[in-house]
Structure formats: C-alpha cells, structure tokens
Amino acid sequence: MNQAQKKRVIIAGGGTAGWIAAAAMAKQLAGTVDITLIESDQISTIGVGEATIPPMRTFHKLLGINEQDFMRATSSTFKLGISFENWGNIDQKYIHSFGVTGKSSYLAEFVHFWLHGKQQGHDAEYGDYCIELQAAKMGRFATSDKSKINFAYHLEASRYASFLREFSEARQVKRVEGKIVQVNQATNGSGFITGLQLDSGALIEGDLFIDCSGFRGLLIEQTLNTGYEDWSHWLPCDSALAVQTASVSPAPPYTRAIAHDSGWQWRIPLQHRVGNGIVYCSKYLSDDAARLRLLDNIEGQTLTEPLQIKFRTGKRRKHWNKNCIALGLASGFVEPLESTSIHLVMMGIIRLMKLFPYEGINPVLVEEYNRETSEELEKIRDFIILHYKVTQREDSAFWRYCKNMEVPDSLKHRIELFKRNAYTYQEPNELFRVDSWTQVMLGQGLIPDSYHHIVKTMSDNELNQFLNSMRTGMKSVAESLPMHQDFIERYCKASN
C-alpha cells in the first residue's frame, strides 16, 4: 500500500484513551494507516483510572505486551476482585471476584445448589466456592502459564499512558505536542472534520478523527454537537476527589469500594503507593465535607493534594458521528465502581478496527458501531445501578433515594427474575458474566425466594459430598498460593 492510499487517523488527546487507541492501531493496522496523536502539556490528563478488569490481559496479548515488563513499568499489582463494604448495609461486606463460583449443571447454575445446601443446614458462604475470592481474602496470589486464576491489575495511570506512548512511537505513531485551538469542518455541507488547528499555527489534516480529549469532548461535542444521554437519575454521583498516599502495609490483591452516606470511597494498592478517592453526590455532600471525609479515611501520608473531578454520568447519543469516533471520557462516563472505563476504550478501538472505514465512511458501519457500543454500555450501566438499587441502607437521603428510585426495565427484569427463581443470564455483547451478577445480587442482600427443583433430586449424601469436597479443595488451592506482596517482589518488582 503506498503512502497516498493510507488512511490518515488523527487522535486528539494523549490520556489513557488516546494512547490505547494509538497502540492498538499501530500494532493491528500496521502499514494500512498513518497515525498522528496530538496532546497538549498545557492540559493535564485526568490522572485517575487505576483499577482494571481481566479482559485487559487479552488486549495486551493482542498487542504482544509482556506482562512483567508492563507491571514493572506501571508499578502494578494484581487484582482478584473488588471488596464492597457497607453497600448492602452498614458493616456488611462481600467480594465481587473475577473467578467462577462452584460448579454448575446444564439446567441450574451453582447458586441453586448453594441455596439448597443452605436450606439443608450448610453454613458456607457463596464465596467459599471460588478460588479467586478465597485467595483475595487471604491476601494470596500467583500466576503462571498453567494457572487458571482469573485476574486483572491495579496500575499507575500516568505511567500506563507513557508505557503505551513508548510502544506506539516505536511503531511509527507520530506524536505532536500542541493545543488544539480550532476544529475545521468541510465546507461542502457534510460537516466532516477536515483538520485540527494548533496554537503553533500548524494544521493537522486527516480522514478519520478519534476524540480522546476527555470530558470536554472537543470534537464529538464541542464541534459536532452530538448530544448526551444523561443517566444521573440512576447514577447520581457527580463528583470525585482523588488523593495518593504512601503504602503502609502489604498490597492486598483487590480494590476496596467502601460506601459512605452519600457515595463511596476507593482504595487501590499500587507497588509504590495507594490511590484513594471519594465519589459522591454533590446534592447530598458538599465538596468541603467530602474532602474532610476522604482525608479522614485514608492510611499513610498524603503524597498529593486532593484533585477535584466533576462528571455527569451518561453517554454520547452517538459514539461515532460523521468521521469522528469518541473514546474514553469523551464518549461518556458510567461510574468507576466496577473499573469499566479503560475496558470500554479497549473494546471501542477493537470494534473500530474491525469496522475500519477503508472505503470511506459508510452509514452501515457507523450504525453498527453505535449499536454495539450502546448495547454494551447499557448492560454495564445496569450492573452498576444494581449496586445502588439493591440495598437495605436507609440511613441517609442518598441511600433512600437509591433504594426507591425507578431503574431501567432491563434491570428491573433481572432483579425480579433472580428474586423469584435465582435465575440470571449473560447476554451476547455483555461484559458481566452470570458469576458477577450472582455475586453482586447476593452480596447486596438479594436472596432468591426459590430455586430450581432439579437440585433437590440429589440425596443429602450427594449434596454434602459435592459441596464439602469443592469447598475444601478450593480453600486448599487458595492456601497453597504465596502472599501477593511476596509474589510481586519476585515476579515484577518496579524499580520505584
């Protein structure tokens, strides 16, 4: 392919989203596109986004990224799940782990066996049948080529962007430093973007533009006026404050999400420090009060001043509009509760590469991209709303609102189905598996009224044998793992 035939892709923004897009295209579309990324040192990146989910490992495999190199460069730790504290009720906690819980039969998921066991006097918790969850509780972790343990990472956001920048620049991505001051559009009435004017006077022209400019949505919104679907009636938190602290104890292999009376607080252990933040609804908690609460609930010396972030949950009406695709915060924001944003960037760029408009922008490609992206996001949205809706908390106006709010019909249906018969499902193009839905519904305190009768055909002996041997086996696997901190020291210790 000669230079003139190559599509010119311009990425506006060099945060996590911009560099993920650049790295993926540089590797996968090599030789067929010319990639330029524009970023401005005058406009900082958001600087948060440190907890991830397991599909990131598949993305890294696609790019040929070596896990140990990546972990050393980004000071990462391992993540087996999220510990939700004070969500179902104050002083209650559960872990949403990345593992598979128990063993299912063709007709009935494991939760049916567990519920039957409970009725027969078994006292084990649902999570006792999941290796990842047991290991998380014990602070243990190991991985190897043979290991089936499912995990993700906690990473340093700015180092991750730098790591991907190096990766991308080594593969012919051109980086341009400069502030975009004007977005030029075609004068033929199509409204397509033709070029980005920088403060230096340079004009960067292209065929396809990827908006990774953060919440501002410089291209997708400020230029193309795409519109925003507001989800704040379902996800009312609209503010966050983030602060970094020194580590004072060995890193646990999980994120903590600790609910408070007007939102929640995160704790993300990295190798060299801890990322902390409070997410809250400004209608119920002032910024000053949130700041005090955050600083009251951290361990270790603070290393940064708290950084204030304001957001509105929702999504762009179109993720691909004309010749512009929005990724990252420019495309919308659900909530960082289940660490899904970086994943959505990765899914977005993979989807774009599959539908890449080599022959020009065709409405059918655009429609499909938007359809798949919206569907994916709406299912994630429902899963996040579940954490707020299914609660026994009534101790504050915020929780009373969440408990009593109307939820999307799609979620209402799932909640009723589980309550009635312990049934849940994973739809095509859906991120969260049956295991996740079940762990969170039970963890939030939603106990089914009934379960599949097929499990009642097991004799007491068979049921005891089935549950006890599995529980003991999983516990002993978890116990055999090294401590997470020790494993990191051996496997991927960062130099600072």
Ligand X SMILES: Cc1cc2nc3c(=O)[nH]c(=O)nc-3n(C[C@H](O)[C@H](O)[C@H](O)COP(=O)(O)OP(=O)(O)OC[C@H]3O[C@@H](n4cnc5c(N)ncnc54)[C@H](O)[C@@H]3O)c2cc1C
**CB crowding 101-116: b at 16 or more within 10 Å, else e:** bbeeeeebbbbbbbbb
CB of 210 to ligand X, least distance (A): 11
Tell which positions 271-310 bind ligand X, by CB under 6 A: 277, 309
Q: Does 435 bind ligand X (CB under 6 A)?
A: no
Q: At 233, is the secondary structure helix, strand, or coil? A: coil
Q: Are strands 33-39 and 7-12 parallel, antiparallel or unpaired?
A: parallel
CB of 196 to ligand X, least distance (A): 8
Q: Does 252 bind ligand X (CB under 6 A)?
A: no
Give the residue with the Cβ less far from ligand X, 275 or 448: 275
Give the residue with the Cβ less far from ligand X, 122 or 318: 318
Q: In the 8-state DSSP scheme, what is residue 358?
A: T
Q: What string marks each residue from 340 to 379 as x (binds ligand X by CB under 6 A) or -?
A: -xx-------------------------------------
Give the residue with the Cβ less far from ligand X, 141 or 333: 333
Q: Does 127 bind ligand X (CB under 6 A)?
A: no
| Size of the residue set binding ligand X (CB under 6 A) | 36
Judged by CB under 6 A, the residue of 15, 306, 314, 443 near ligand X is 15
Tokens 């649902």 — which residue? 126
CB contact at 8 A, 8 and 206: yes
Judged by CB under 6 A, the residue of 9, 25, 38, 237 near ligand X is 38
Stretch that binds ligand X, among 121-129, 256-264, 336-344, 461-469 (CB under 6 A): 336-344
Judged by CB under 6 A, the residue of 7, 23, 25, 39 near ligand X is 39
Q: Does 243 bind ligand X (CB under 6 A)?
A: no
Q: Does 46 bind ligand X (CB under 6 A)?
A: yes
Question: Residue 191 burial (CB < 10 Å; 0-12/13-18/19+)?
Answer: middle
Which pair of tokens denotes residue 73? 């460069």
What distances in angstroms separate CA 303 from CA 163, 174, 272, 306, one per listed residue? Answer: 22, 34, 11, 9
Alpha-carbon distance of 140 to 75, in angstroms, equals 18
CB contact at 8 A, 208 and 7: yes
Q: Does 51 bind ligand X (CB under 6 A)?
A: yes
> Which residues have C-beta within 8 Å of that of residue 405, sequence separation ≥ 6?
233, 234, 388, 389
**CB crowding 27-59: b at 16 or more within 10 Å, else e:** bbbeeebbbbbbbbeeeebbbbbbbbbbbbbeb
Give the residue with the Cβ less far from ligand X, 328 or 443: 328
Stretch that binds ligand X, among 222-230, 290-298, 338-346, 448-456 (CB under 6 A): 338-346
Judged by CB under 6 A, the residue of 7, 10, 14, 82 near ligand X is 14
CB of 468 to ligand X, least distance (A): 37
Which pair of tokens denotes residue 475? 């516990």
The binding site for ligand X (CB under 6 A) comprises 13-18, 38-40, 43, 45-46, 48-52, 157, 179-180, 212-214, 216, 218, 240, 277, 309, 311, 328-330, 336, 339, 341-342
